[in-house]
Amino acid sequence: MYTYKTEILMVGSKWFSDKANEKDAAELDELLNRRSAEGWDLVTYDYMATSVQVRGAFIITFRKEI
């Protein structure tokens, strides 16, 4: 059996593009490595752009065996 944890990682402001950049990817890597060290496994993640293209976010789901 597993317990699940979902987090939202906000990304930098976007003015002309809704795409993630290298800084956003580095922040995602840091979070993934931190959670892995705590025993969490990545289940899924997705990048969510906003309709006004100002800020987006990663939604990330982890799981850990109970």
Query: Which tens digits make up the pLDDT trace of 51-65?
Result: 666 677 889 999 999
| Domain extent for 38 | 2-65
Give the C-alpha distances (Å, rounded to integers) separating 41 from 11, 23, 34, 38, 48: 22, 22, 11, 9, 21
Distance separating alpha carbons of residues 61 and 6, to the nearest angstrom: 4
pLDDT digits (tens, 9 = 90+) for 26-59: 988 999 999 999 999 999 999 887 666 667 788 9
- Number of domains forming the structure of the chain: 1
Q: Please state the pTM of the whole predicted model.
A: 0.78
